[in-house]
Structure 1
Amino acid sequence: MPIYWNTKIVTVELESTYGTDATPDGADAILTVEGSITPMEGNDVNRNLETPWLSADATIPAELHAKVSFKVELQGSGTAGTAPGWGKLLRMCGCAETVVASTSVTYNPVSDNHESGTLYFYVGKTLHKLVGTRGNAKFMVSAQGIPYIEFEFTGLFTDPAEATRPTPDLSAFLKPSLATSANTPTGTINGTDFVIRALSLDLGNQVENRFLIGSESVLITDRQEVIEATVEAQPLTSFDPYALARAQSEVAVVVAHGTSAGKIVTLTAPTAQMQRVQGLENAQNITEWPLRLVPLASSGNDQWTLALT
């Protein structure tokens, strides 16, 4: 019997002890888009044997780890103050989660004590387990498209095995709304309203495999966030990105998607440095700016927030 790719199941749970299997079950299922796995990444150490004949050399697999990537729809839980089904994924990407009951859930970057998780990736009945998993995330909003968070995770390797497939509970993942003028009412840079084609924030996490004697781990060792936005150009008397870039100006970027309580997602970068404008684009004979901004920290770990209200 063939194994059908589109029937895969992903479950995730946060670890209380790094690298210890948190045994996620069907209640911890993630509704994924375009999921993929490279199940046995690493290096092949050549033995460099000297033999009396010419032949290929034997190798030993080393630094074994696995990578999983997928997207999730950027949609709130439907209830203000209740974390979304994808919240634990952001926590595994070096983010803190702050819940204000009945009001909001807010995510922001943190510089230490990064949480890790166990990720189960089922393909048919074959279970790939990633433990000690951490990763990177990218928020993406495109006109007339579904807003997404794109994740890439790296975890320690465990031997795949046949297992009983769980029954996934995906009730925490609500139907999304498209990014339109009605559904995405706010899109400003430096307080100026823009017509936006696309906007993204890449957390830019530097995810490192650290395999030493006595310790094997996946760490987030640095980050370099970047915002990229394609917007309709304006007269320079209204907004001058060239002058802002020359002055190394820090501007606020705010995008809000959703209009009903529990489904409003607001991405804010209060002090983003405008970078050089590296070209102009033509879409439907309309001039567009490809803007690039770098979120900078003010007092630390405040370069961006994602608030669900």
Structure 2
Amino acid sequence: MAAPIFWRDKRFLFGLEGTYGVDPGPTGAANAILGMDVTLKPMEGQDQERDLEQPGMSANGTIPTDLHAAISFTVDLSASGAAGTAPAWGPLLRACGVAETITAATSVAYTPISEGFESGTFHLAIGGTRYVILGARGKAEFDLSAQATPKIKFEFTGLFTIPTEVAPPVVDLSSWTEPTIVSHKNTPVFTIDATPFVMKSAKLALGNKVEPRFLVGSDRVLITDKSELFETTVEAQPLTAFDPFTMALNMEKVPVQLVHGTTAGRIATLDLATAQMQRPNISQSQNIKEWPLRLIPRAASLNDQWSLTLT
């Protein structure tokens, strides 16, 4: 009897594709992912019923259709440690409809795009079994909650391939840097409409609509739309200082900025230039009045609804 295969025995690779659906051959030395909470659905799809009319009573069997694969996981949102050097998670974000702009020795900026979406290939080895997902595109969410490490949560969909037994690669994870927790010390700026807040949590969902499209002549996974959403919970203030109710009523669009990190090469700045305030709510924690707020990042001009800049 074969020995058990341990779930934690994973080697996880990702490479951007030059041609859609063509495996670029990611390597353990250059393309390894340091992830957590990995969930793999290797053979998603439908089972088409046969509905055959024949004598007797029995199942007719099914035909698998619409075959694709899905994978979700989380990585640390931490900069590379050197200004102008892209982080290890950069290729993953690029496959979520995001452009990467590098200014040498200065910054790496991520902004949304509406066309020319990149795609990538995953290799996930669990024990000696390798699962390959081609043509993958995904959705992402930035999560910065107090007293926790900042994270990016990814969900990818790609083309199905038959798993194979191969020798697992040797991986180099040195490009993945240690994160720092979101805190008063490490997160010096959080403002809405230039008003500082005591912030409990902040999340930006990129809101990609990712859809498999399998037709004659083309099997693709497409990003067909986007609808970003920013959610935060903050300590409430007097309405004379900040009035989210009037803002929501008037559909006001305000800037939001969050800066995490204080050391050059390790600073991440999230900007929403024109975010529309939605109806606020009220909650409490530790007997402190809080506001759960939702804002919609709106584009003042094409593709400027949010940016993430590493410096």
TM-score calculated relative to the size of structure 2: 0.98
Moved over 4 A (4+): none
Indicate the larger mover: 101-110 or 122-131.
122-131
Aligned amino acid, residue 24 of structure 1 = P
Q: CA deviation at 1:69?
A: 0.5
1:84-113 alpha-carbon deviations (Å, 9 max, x no partner): 000000100000000000000000000001
Give secondary structure in 1 for the equivalent of 2:186: coil
Query: What is the CA–CA distance in structure 2 between the aligned matches of 1:19 and 1:34, rounded to whole Å?
Result: 26
Matched, 1:308 2:280: no
Count of residues paired in the alignment: 308
5+ residue gaps, structure 1: none
Matched, 1:155 2:158: yes
What is residue 292 of structure 2 aligned with on the other side? Answer: 290
Q: CA deviation at 1:36?
A: 1.2
Matched, 1:197 2:195: no
Instruction: Give the alignment of 1:172-211 within 5 angstroms.
Output: 172-211=175-214
Aligned amino acid, residue 152 of structure 1 = E
Query: What is the CA–CA distance in structure 2 between the aligned matches of 1:141 and 1:183, rounded to whole Å?
Result: 12
Query: What is the CA–CA distance in structure 2 between the aligned matches of 1:56 and 1:281, rounded to whole Å?
Result: 53
Q: CA deviation at 1:133?
A: 0.4
Matched, 1:28 2:12: no
Q: CA deviation at 1:124?
A: 1.0
5+ residue gaps, structure 2: none
Alignment match of 1:102 (pick from 101, 105, 123): 105
Aligned amino acid, residue 16 of structure 1 = G
The RMSD of aligned alpha carbons is 0.6
TM-score calculated relative to the size of structure 1: 0.99
Q: CA deviation at 1:78?
A: 0.3
Query: What is the CA–CA distance in structure 1 between the aligned matches of 2:13 and 2:83, rounded to whole Å?
Result: 24
Alignment match of 1:268 (pick from 268, 271, 278): 271
Aligned amino acid, residue 92 of structure 2 = L
Query: What is the CA–CA distance in structure 2 between the aligned matches of 1:69 and 1:124, rounded to whole Å?
Result: 19
Q: CA deviation at 1:287?
A: 0.6
Alignment match of 2:216 (pick from 204, 213, 216): 213
Q: Matched residues, percent identical? A: 54
What is residue 10 of structure 1 aligned with on the other side? Answer: 12
Q: CA deviation at 1:6?
A: 1.2
